[in-house]
């Protein structure tokens, strides 16, 4: 990777498609609920929630981008924040095991914020992304 290259990690299109399909399926279930108002309400809320998550993926598919000057992270619903490398205080992977679940999250920490990303957000293994960020940061902050 040269110093001018921009690296981007984004939500995979298959994941976005799955979320859109799930929202459509649940919306269809709501439409087919007949006269059952409880089922209609539950399915409608679920469809809206899935649609909101899918819309975020469509509006801000790139969750993390990095170049020689710093890193850009998605914030809020679909906003972006540019952070220069000297403002990044830590890049690490948090791993937790509970019962049958094993979660890994990339953490990008600044003095005033902590940005968390999963492999589903990045479309790549969080360890690989952390390594790429370490190397890019090391090359540019010398």
Residues 80-127: tens digit of each pLDDT: 999 999 999 999 999 999 888 899 999 999 989 999 999 999 999 999
Q: Using CA atoms, how far apart are residues 118 and 103, in angstroms rounded to an integer?
A: 8
pLDDT top residue among 139 and 9: 9
- What is the reported pLDDT for 31? 82
Residue 74 DSSP code: E
- The residue among 12, 14, 41 whose CA lies nearest residue 26 is 41
Tokens of 83: 């952070």
Q: What local confidence, expressed as pLDDT, does residue 140 receive?
A: 74
Q: What is the pTM of this model?
A: 0.83
- The mean of the pLDDT values for the chain is 90
Domains of the chain, residue spans: 11-59, 63-141
pLDDT at 83: 95
CB 72 within 8 A of CB 80: yes
Contact 84, 70 (CB under 8 A): yes
CA distance 74 to 78: 6
* pLDDT at residue 138, rounded to an integer: 85
pLDDT in tens, 23-71: 999 989 888 877 778 888 888 899 999 999 999 999 999 999 999 999 9
């Amino acid at each position: 990777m040269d110093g001018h290259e921009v690296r981007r990690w984004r939500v995979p299109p298959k994941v976005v498609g799955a979320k859109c399909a799930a929202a459509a399926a649940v919306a269809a279930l709501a439409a087919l609920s007949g006269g059952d108002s409880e089922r209609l309400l539950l399915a409608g809320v679920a469809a809206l929630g899935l649609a909101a998550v899918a819309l975020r993926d469509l509006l801000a598919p790139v969750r993390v981008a990095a170049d020689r000057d710093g890193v850009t992270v998605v914030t809020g619903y679909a906003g972006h924040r540019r952070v220069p490398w000297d403002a990044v205080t830590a890049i690490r992977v948090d791993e937790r095991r509970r019962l049958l679940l094993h979660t890994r999250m990339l953490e990008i920490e600044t003095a005033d914020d902590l940005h968390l990303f999963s492999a589903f957000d990045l479309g790549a293994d969080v360890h690989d992304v952390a390594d790429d960020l370490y190397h890019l940061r090391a090359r540019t902050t010398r």
